[in-house]
Structure 1
Amino acid sequence: MNLLKILDQLSDDKFFNTDGVTRKDSFSQLANIGKKAALFGIPVGLSSYMSTDAKAGSLESTAKFASASAQSALTDALQLALTLEYLEAEYYVKGLAASGLIPSADRTVFGQISKHESAHVTYLTAAIKSLGETPVSKPTFDFTAGGNFQPFTDYPTFLTLAQAFEDTGVRAYKGQAGNVASNKDVLTVALQIHSVEARHASQVRRMRGNKGWIEGNVGGNMPAATYAVYAGEDNVIQAGFDTSKLFGAAAGSASFDETITGDVAKMIAGTFIA
């Protein structure tokens, strides 16, 4: 399967019956980078006293460690992304199945978003398997968060959580970019998924009467229970420049999206895991 076309095939039912992507390339390129980095890490003069075998052994060990560390970070990032996609995919499936919940005018939007999320789950599952790892199992979700929300009987609440989930996904994918950079194929598709999640977020935000982008750290007309999703989004300092000087804090903060760490993303998702 051509991974670059994966998001163009979302409306094709045959897509969901495929076996996923082929096995990804090995980390040989990363290992070569690790060897070069190791050379620069040897103190001046020490290399002349090392035997050829010792040098080779040291470089090989360093390269293997670098490769293993990169693969661990890559796998962890993919497992996190898969968990978030499980959450979103199931949320929209249940929302579309809830009788009378989504107005007919909005069902087309959420039907398409649901297909996208299912495609993301399909890709991430295949990508993790291609690395020789076992994809994390889909958790049991409690979208009421212990009774605090009723998204499948109240449409405004459904929209509120949809916005929170999409905005979380956008920030989380951005935060994991460095951890998937060791695999070009995975990085390429992760960036494609990230941009689609951003479009989801913008669409849902506008459906709720918000701007398509985030201003400040409260996400628009969102309840306080969701503020963890937007923590840090009021930042106006970028590379030492105060972006609020020209247009104010709201536009300044909105001109640059912020990331969230994997731990924060897990905490947010964990709120909805039984």
Structure 2
Amino acid sequence: MDLQNIFTAIEKTDPEIYERLDTRRSAMKRFANVGKALAMSAVPLALGSMFKKAYGRTPADVLSVLQFALLLEHLESGFYSEAITHTSLFDAAGFAAFTTIANQEAAHVTLIAQTIQALGGTPDPAPAFTYTKNGALPTFTDLATLLTVAQAFEDTGVRAYKGQICNLQENRTVLTIALQIHSVEARHAAHIRTMRGKKGWITQAQNDFSDTDATYAGEDLTVQDGVTITGICTGITADAATEAFEEPLDAATVRTIIAPFINT
């Protein structure tokens, strides 16, 4: 294991890392001592300790976020891939939109899986999904239900990515990938909402699909960073205030939202 190359790679990703730790020379000296005292197999553990000291996170934390994102992308990719097999549901424009989104979601799955592998992990396989909730929903026989489920998945995905950004902020490469996907998911959400005749953004915590109430929980906030948004200027109503900002969702809440759509 070439520590010189490891530290060079780390510096390229985060030039300020030694401001959080120590000088480069001192850090390498400590790792050299680790190598002398322990088997080289222990060095990855020491590297993890270094990341924990510098960021409060380890490489395993980044992999955990990526596996979580992969689960969401598998959910969406599988959904759109199945949806476009039911061609009778769509007009030409709707089928074209769903096909485009299906292709983009498949690309997201590939990119995240390859990133996990590049970081030394093994991508989790896609679970078996039940988009009809085991027959409880006419997801693939009724266009209105199909679009409502699509909206719920997309809005959940956008908020889920936002909720994980802080866990990726020191890994610029992975952060860039997450933000690239996040913005496209937001465009998907807006387009699906438009297909339903809705606004392209979320108003308050409004939801017309009881199975996904948690998708919109917290979206009715009118205070941001201690500042009350309503009344700042003419026309900033509670609706306008909530439409101007989107709140993140934590991983536990997201898993609760999507759990009914996963076969266990």
Same fold (TM over 0.5): yes
Asked whether the 8 Å contact 2:13–2:172 carries over to 1, the reply is no
Q: In angstroms, what is the RMSD of aligned CA positions?
A: 2.8
Distance 2:171 2:26 in 1: 30
Match of residue 185, structure 1, among 173, 196, 213: 173
Secondary structure of 1:176's counterpart equals helix
Matched, 1:162 2:150: yes
Matched, 1:65 2:49: yes
Bigger RCO (CA 8 Å, 6+ sep): 1
Match of residue 213, structure 2, among 227, 240, 243: 227
Match of residue 81, structure 1, among 46, 63, 69: 69
Matched, 1:258 2:247: yes
- Give 1:21's aligned residue: none
- Give 1:14's aligned residue: none
Secondary structure of 1:160's counterpart equals helix
Matched residue type, 2:225: A
Distance 1:176 1:137 in 2: 21
Seen in structure 2, the aligned counterparts of structure 1 residues 67 and 53 have a Cα distance that, compared at 3 Å, is closer
Match of residue 106, structure 1, among 71, 94, 104: 94
Asked whether the 8 Å contact 2:11–2:17 carries over to 1, the reply is no
Asked whether the 8 Å contact 1:159–1:208 carries over to 2, the reply is yes
Measured after TM superposition, the shift of residue 34 of structure 1 is 5.7
Measured after TM superposition, the shift of residue 33 of structure 1 is 5.3
Matched residue type, 1:239: D
- Give 1:6's aligned residue: none
Distance 1:137 1:149 in 2: 25
For normalisation by structure 1, the TM-score amounts to: 0.78
Matched, 1:239 2:222: no
Matched, 1:118 2:106: yes
- Give 2:5's aligned residue: none
Distance 2:47 2:110 in 1: 31
Asked whether the 8 Å contact 2:128–2:262 carries over to 1, the reply is yes
Secondary structure of 1:252's counterpart equals helix
For normalisation by structure 2, the TM-score amounts to: 0.81
Asked whether the 8 Å contact 1:217–1:233 carries over to 2, the reply is yes
Match of residue 194, structure 2, among 202, 206, 215: 206
Count of matched residue pairs: 237
Asked whether the 8 Å contact 1:162–1:204 carries over to 2, the reply is yes
Distance 2:26 2:177 in 1: 40
Asked whether the 8 Å contact 1:81–1:173 carries over to 2, the reply is yes
Deviations 1:182-212 (A, max 9, x none): 3212211211111110000001011111110
Measured after TM superposition, the shift of residue 269 of structure 1 is 2.0
Asked whether the 8 Å contact 2:219–2:247 carries over to 1, the reply is yes
Q: What stretches of structure 2 of length at least 5 have no aligned partner? A: 1-7, 35-44
